[in-house]
Structure 1
């Protein structure tokens, strides 16, 4: 009985620790999300299966861009703003989501906590610099770019970045 209580306590503490790690307040040195009404212009990005069109986007520092994301492919795709290191880290998160069954080739499943027994409880796709777009759907992401830098926009669903689903985003003065 004593051992079982200790195991239950350990499991609860472990579950709480996953929830705390998964929800830090994230900031981005290259900008922040913005309401669509603040956009100075719109840029349409067409997602095919393993491609973006255009492959490169030029922006001025201080500009607020409304990205209109059109998925013309047969698979679920992501539009994520960041540098190569951010994409590499996010790819590992997406791989965990895929391995848990939360991420499928065509959708992101909502999972209840009961179904997630033994998995990381904090798994969500809610980063402000990222949006998932199901096949045949359109989504938007509006972002204010605060400084000159070189970034990438990418799909971090396992294998997509490696297959070439990445583009250059240049923010100039």
Structure 2
């Protein structure tokens, strides 16, 4: 039975970490489920439609370009993100309610560190990819939840048809 501990150890590495946080409108704080109302993480092996999103500061605040994105229900998207700004920014996919709750938690705990599967945070002048599959139709949003950024205009509309 010496193989059993090795199997259990391998299984532990295959499971997602318990610290992975998911924002969900039905829960206060974070939910650890595999799928939310706005979808689930995309499969890196599947690719998907590429949508480029730039984030950064503007003369009047902060913004995403584009500020509105439409996708099809069931579609997997590869968001190619570029932080063209001088500050750190992030893109968090969620419902309006979940993102507001998450933003409030971040404002109350500004040193909070987290790695949400529905988000990507970028340092200034860097880029990254966030893969997401949109499983349910509806209107959702993407926002930067770093304290003050959403209020400065870093919020976009995401329509799943």
Normalising by structure 2, report the TM-score.
Answer: 0.74
Distance in 2 (CA, whole Å) between partners of 1:128 and 1:80 is 9
Counterpart in the other structure of 1:39 = 47
Q: Deviations over 1:138-161 (max 9, x none)?
A: 011100100111001100111111
Matched, 1:171 2:160: yes
Higher relative contact order (CA 8 A, sep 6+): 1
Alignment of 1:1-150 (within 5 A): 24-26=31-33, 27-49=35-57, 50-98=62-110, 102=111, 123-150=112-139
Q: Give 5+ residue unaligned stretches, structure 2.
A: 1-27
Runs of 4 or more consecutive aligned structure 1 residues displaced over 4 Å after TM superposition: 21-24
Give SS of 2:37's match: coil
Give SS of 1:37's match: coil
Distance in 2 (CA, whole Å) between partners of 1:147 and 1:22 is 22
RMSD: 1.8
Higher-Rg structure is: 1
Q: Deviations over 1:26-51 (max 9, x none)?
A: 34122100233313211010011211
For these two proteins, the number of residue pairs brought into alignment is 129
Normalising by structure 1, report the TM-score.
Answer: 0.69
